[in-house]
Amino acid sequence: MDSIAEYIGRDSPAYGRIVVAKVLETVENIREFPLAGRAVPELIDSKVRERFVYSYRLVYRIENHEVLMVAVIHGKRLFEGISERFEERC
Protein backbone atom coordinates (compact mmCIF):
# COMPACT_ATOMS: atom_id res chain seq x y z
CA MET A 1 0.00 0.00 0.00
CA ASP A 2 2.88 2.33 0.72
CA SER A 3 4.28 1.94 -2.79
CA ILE A 4 0.84 2.49 -4.33
CA ALA A 5 0.33 5.66 -2.27
CA GLU A 6 3.82 6.85 -3.19
CA TYR A 7 3.33 6.14 -6.90
CA ILE A 8 -0.04 7.89 -7.11
CA GLY A 9 1.20 10.65 -4.80
CA ARG A 10 3.81 11.71 -7.35
CA ASP A 11 0.99 13.23 -9.38
CA SER A 12 -1.54 13.87 -6.61
CA PRO A 13 -0.87 13.26 -2.91
CA ALA A 14 -4.56 13.82 -2.17
CA TYR A 15 -5.66 11.18 -4.68
CA GLY A 16 -3.04 8.78 -3.31
CA ARG A 17 -4.60 9.12 0.15
CA ILE A 18 -8.10 8.65 -1.29
CA VAL A 19 -7.12 5.43 -3.08
CA VAL A 20 -5.44 3.99 0.02
CA ALA A 21 -8.44 4.90 2.19
CA LYS A 22 -10.81 3.22 -0.27
CA VAL A 23 -8.65 0.08 -0.41
CA LEU A 24 -8.60 -0.14 3.39
CA GLU A 25 -12.37 0.41 3.53
CA THR A 26 -12.87 -2.39 0.99
CA VAL A 27 -10.58 -4.71 2.96
CA GLU A 28 -12.79 -4.18 6.02
CA ASN A 29 -15.83 -4.93 3.87
CA ILE A 30 -14.18 -8.11 2.56
CA ARG A 31 -13.62 -9.23 6.13
CA GLU A 32 -17.35 -8.89 6.82
CA PHE A 33 -18.59 -10.23 3.46
CA PRO A 34 -15.85 -12.38 1.88
CA LEU A 35 -18.17 -14.07 -0.62
CA ALA A 36 -19.19 -10.74 -2.12
CA GLY A 37 -16.08 -10.76 -4.31
CA ARG A 38 -15.97 -12.73 -7.52
CA ALA A 39 -13.80 -15.79 -8.04
CA VAL A 40 -10.58 -14.84 -9.83
CA PRO A 41 -11.24 -15.90 -13.43
CA GLU A 42 -7.60 -16.81 -14.14
CA LEU A 43 -7.60 -19.42 -11.36
CA ILE A 44 -9.66 -22.55 -10.84
CA ASP A 45 -9.84 -22.19 -7.03
CA SER A 46 -13.15 -20.60 -5.99
CA LYS A 47 -11.62 -19.77 -2.60
CA VAL A 48 -9.40 -17.17 -4.30
CA ARG A 49 -11.57 -14.13 -4.87
CA GLU A 50 -11.19 -10.48 -5.80
CA ARG A 51 -12.74 -7.08 -5.39
CA PHE A 52 -11.90 -3.99 -7.41
CA VAL A 53 -10.98 -0.56 -6.11
CA TYR A 54 -10.43 2.00 -8.84
CA SER A 55 -7.71 0.41 -11.05
CA TYR A 56 -6.64 -2.18 -8.48
CA ARG A 57 -7.56 -5.80 -7.90
CA LEU A 58 -7.64 -6.87 -4.26
CA VAL A 59 -7.02 -10.61 -4.35
CA TYR A 60 -7.74 -12.70 -1.27
CA ARG A 61 -8.23 -16.30 -0.22
CA ILE A 62 -10.95 -17.64 2.05
CA GLU A 63 -9.80 -20.38 4.42
CA ASN A 64 -12.26 -21.67 7.02
CA HIS A 65 -13.26 -18.52 8.89
CA GLU A 66 -10.23 -16.45 7.87
CA VAL A 67 -9.54 -14.16 4.95
CA LEU A 68 -5.95 -13.79 3.74
CA MET A 69 -5.16 -10.79 1.55
CA VAL A 70 -2.85 -12.18 -1.12
CA ALA A 71 -2.13 -9.16 -3.30
CA VAL A 72 -3.14 -5.75 -4.55
CA ILE A 73 -2.43 -5.68 -8.28
CA HIS A 74 -2.92 -2.91 -10.81
CA GLY A 75 -5.62 -3.93 -13.28
CA LYS A 76 -3.37 -3.35 -16.31
CA ARG A 77 -0.81 -5.83 -15.02
CA LEU A 78 -1.06 -9.31 -16.50
CA PHE A 79 -2.17 -11.94 -14.01
CA GLU A 80 -0.26 -14.74 -15.75
CA GLY A 81 3.17 -15.10 -14.18
CA ILE A 82 1.75 -13.79 -10.92
CA SER A 83 -0.64 -16.71 -10.58
CA GLU A 84 2.17 -19.04 -9.46
CA ARG A 85 2.65 -16.83 -6.41
CA PHE A 86 -0.99 -17.42 -5.44
CA GLU A 87 -0.66 -21.16 -5.84
CA GLU A 88 2.39 -21.16 -3.56
CA ARG A 89 0.77 -19.01 -0.86
CA CYS A 90 -2.71 -20.48 -1.09
- For the structural domain made of 2-89, what CATH number should be given? 3.30.2310.20
Greater confidence (34 vs 88) lies with 34
Average per-residue pLDDT for the chain: 85
CA dist 13 → 8, 20, 27, 29, 77 (Å) = 7, 11, 21, 25, 23
pLDDT at residue 86 tops 60: no
Question: pLDDT tens for residues 62-78?
Answer: 988 899 988 888 877 65
- With the CA atoms of 64, 46, 51 and 21 taken in that order, what torsion angle do they form, in degrees rounded to the nearest 10? 30
pTM for the whole thing? 0.80
43-57 pLDDT tens trace: 888 899 999 999 899
